[in-house]
Chain A
Amino acid sequence: MALPQRRTDIGPPHYKDFLPPVMLKNYGDWKHHEILNPGLMVHVANSGDKVWSIRVATPRLLSTDTIREFADLAEKYCGGYLRWTTRNNVEFLVSEEKNIEPLWKELVEKNHMMGGIGNRISNIVHTQGWIHCHSAATDASGIVKALMDDLADYFTTRETPNKVKLAVACCTNMCGAVHCSDIAIVAIHRKIPKIDHDKVKNMCEVPSTIASCPTGAISPDPARKSIKVNDEKCMYCGNCFTVCPPMDIADPEFDGVAIVAGGKVSNLRSNPKFSKLVIPYIKNNPPRWPEVTEAVRLILDAYIAGAKKHERVGEWIERIGWEKFFKVTDLPFTFQHIDDFTIARETFRTAATFKW
């Protein structure tokens, strides 16, 4: 069968073709919103019009079967209108109040999980992992599934002092927003790359491979027409592998994940902040990474016990101090926690004030 005529550089379709009529009519003219339950909110326009949003979790990786199921539900109850959130949830955009209850009921019957709105844990931003990425040091989807199973109550019902945003990145390239999340997991390597010298000459450009290293650990190896890695300087980031594939850094025995905490992107109350290292290494333990879920629980429980209302994880830790954070969580403090990369001196304590 002949293919249709291709078109180039047309860009995405116009968003107004996808907005439900109530949103089109009240565009830019919304008055306020209210969270009616953890999976349902209503937005009220100055005109008095309302739109209800029902938020449903997805694993981000979706088959066409499930997308069709969502589409059918949207057709039945929302005039066909739905959207995705930045945290991989689906939102059904309901214009008629009478449709909320039957849609909710059908979602429950089909085993969907509603929630994530307000001060609780929403879905986890994450990356491709072993499913489809060349540089993954862990499988993001597996960790996310194990974590969200464990924390399901915090998605559907239970409250936390403020939102807790979780993220998982399957390598230090960090396609997920791990560097600014409340609690996040980033997969790391701990051994220097193994170089296949025969392939380097055909597959790699030496200057760009050298430039990819943040610590200057890579230098030319003229004798072998290849490159070499100084194992005293290498911090195992894996950036060289992306530029030069014969520098394999994956290591089933020594790869694993680090846990960072205290980041945020919003400007609410305190400035946006980076997540900081709290656990330098947990081994990869598929399929359910029990040590990872346990560690996240530990940090979450300490936050819930210690934070004031509206404080994010990072705000709570800054108020009590990092030394107290390590005390209340009883997490070991190691050499890995003390920065020796590009901003080290900004992180040293230049005061005599701290807690015992």
Chain B
Amino acid sequence: MPRKYETPLLDELEKGPFPSFVTEIKKAAARNDMAADELGQLEKSYRERRGYWKHGGIVGVRGYGGGVIGRYSSLPEEFPSVANFHTIRINSVSGFFYTSKILKEMCDLWDKYGSGLTNMHGSTGDLILLGTSTENLEPIFAEFSSRGWDLGGSGSALRTPSCCIGPARCEWSNIDTLDINYNLTQEWQDEMHRPAFPYKFKFKTAGCAVDCIASIARADCSIIGTWKGTIAVNQDEVATYAKNGMNIKEEIVDMCPSGCMSYDGKELKINDEDCIRCMHCIAKMTKALKATGEKGATILIGSKAPFVIGSTLSWVIIPFIKMEPPYDEFKDLIRKMWEFWDEHGKNRERIGELIIRKGMREFLEFIGVEPQPQQIKEPRRDPFFFWTEADLQK
């Protein structure tokens, strides 16, 4: 029988309408020693207002340099079943799709070898198996990998790429986000499982500028679907929106950031040349408006959370690229970026931080991309700039 702890503080978090993580831990704790000690230690954290987990130490599975995050209780005598309690990252399926059969199979394995607790999903998009002992790592890997699953990324490596639901269910997707995500993941298994980068590298793929996967804020490489062409207008559907109470002037035309629309009460007109493809009108009038023409993606680089120089959003490197299998042009470009990073990056320096340190010119010249006004908000303000010998000869 697992140990039983009094948890008066955590019990407070079983009240109220929203589903409770405490209830989840208790369900597992009723039959699992690790989950029981997790619960006990968490109650202590609530009482003492601090965490009791240690990191570090090399744990993993044979032949891999990542996919398992070492985690140890700093109170192993008090909570022996979580003395070592490592996280396993399972590479999730594009779009987070599952079948009941596969979920049940995973649950059976995880109950056998781990705490019975999961995160669906971690922030990067892995299926997180939350806590097991060192000796169970190899058996878990054998069980999961023999059934078609693999580990995700951790450390200074390619992290598990993720994508929006894309063409599987969305009418706005300009690219096959799920296939891009799957294809890139398969292409770079070695980069994911054997950390050899200066630091982490994340891909996120969004089908359009709505960016449901938050690629522009959370990926070293953000792939955002877009188009070159027109927005086709179905005027009958526009009339239906108006009839159903939409104030098309206020809600659509006046909110268009590039002022490229007009509406006279009968006809909605779009000056496509001035459209910046923000998706507002299409998102609000999905039955009436549809992007048409050449489909592809904008490639942006560099977003990350605050460490070390402050948060960054990704910025445009390639305004437009076709994204069709086998994505060779895109992959060649990424390999060049990684080469630049490998050559110049410091330990724990993200690629965006490196570009800021070295300057866009060095980066763009290295990867062979021309300067274009789409890459910037505005040109530089100060009169300090470099001229190379080659520039002087022009």
Contacts and interface: CB of A to CB of B under 8 A. Distances in A.
A305 B17 CA distance: 25
Nearest to A128: B119
B21 A267 contact: no
B305 A174 contact: yes
Given A28-B176, A59-B21, A8 B64 contact: yes
Interface stretch (B92-100, B317-325, B360-368): B92-100
A86 B213 contact: yes
Given A81-B99, A130-B45, A63 B193 contact: no
Interface string B118-147: 111111110000110000001101110111
Given A62-B24, A175-B305, A83 B98 contact: yes
Interface string B246-267: 0000110001110000000000
A274 B118 contact: no
Interface in A33-78: 33, 43, 51, 53, 57-68, 70-72, 74-75
A277 to B, nearest CB: 12
B49 to A, nearest CB: 4
A242 interface: yes
Given A70-B103, A268-B210, A61 B348 contact: no
A39 to B, nearest CB: 14
A239 interface: yes
A266 B211 contact: yes
A112 to B, nearest CB: 7
Contacts of A353: none
Interface stretch (A133-141, A225-233, A295-303): A133-141
Given A7-B145, A245-B55, A252-B50, A267 B71 contact: no
B100 A175 contact: no
Interface stretch (A14-22, A96-104, A190-198, A327-335): A14-22
Contacts of B193: 8-9
Contacts of A19: 97, 168
Given A239-B308, A265-B214, A130 B96 contact: no
Interface string B326-358: 000000000000000000001110000000000
B145 A10 contact: yes
Contacts of A144: 21
A342 B162 CA distance: 30
B379 interface: no
Q: Pick the most buried of A5, A6, A53, A251: most chain B CB atoms within 10 A of its CB.
A: A6
A82 interface: yes
Contacts of A27: 167-168
B334 to A, nearest CB: 17
Contacts of B186: 11
B54 A61 contact: no
A12 B22 CA distance: 30
Interface string B146-170: 1111100000000000101101111
B14 to A, nearest CB: 9
Interface residues of B, number: 128
Nearest to B284: A310
Nearest to A267: B209
B216 interface: yes
Nearest to A76: B100
A255 B50 contact: yes
Contact of B93 (A8, A18, A65, A179): A18
B48 to A, nearest CB: 6
A66 to B, nearest CB: 6
B311 interface: yes
Given A11-B150, A60-B119, A134-B53, A68 B130 contact: no
Contacts of B176: 28
B217 interface: yes
A97 B35 CA distance: 39
B257 A270 contact: yes
Give the contact-size bracket for chain A.
35 or more
Interface in B182-222: 182, 185-186, 189-190, 193, 209-218
Nearest to B52: A130
Contacts of B54: 134, 245
B288 to A, nearest CB: 9
B93 A287 contact: no
Contacts of A251: 50
A6 B146 contact: yes
Contacts of B269: none
B278 A267 contact: yes
B242 to A, nearest CB: 15
B25 interface: yes
A142 interface: yes
A286 interface: yes
Nearest to B45: A130
Interface string A101-128: 0000000000011000000000001011
A64 B284 contact: no
B214 A32 contact: no
Nearest to A315: B255
B305 to A, nearest CB: 4
B97 A12 contact: no
B17 A274 contact: no
Top 9 A-B pairs, shortest CB-CB distance: A149-B16, A28-B167, A4-B146, A267-B209, A71-B100, A18-B97, A130-B45, A174-B305, A148-B18
25 contacts: A8-B63, A12-B185, A13-B102, A15-B97, A18-B99, A30-B169, A30-B170, A43-B171, A61-B117, A63-B24, A63-B25, A63-B28, A66-B27, A68-B103, A80-B100, A82-B97, A86-B96, A86-B164, A130-B53, A136-B53, A203-B56, A208-B347, A212-B348, A268-B283, A272-B211
Given A8-B150, A214-B308, 4 more contacts: A29-B167, A61-B21, A63-B28, A179-B305
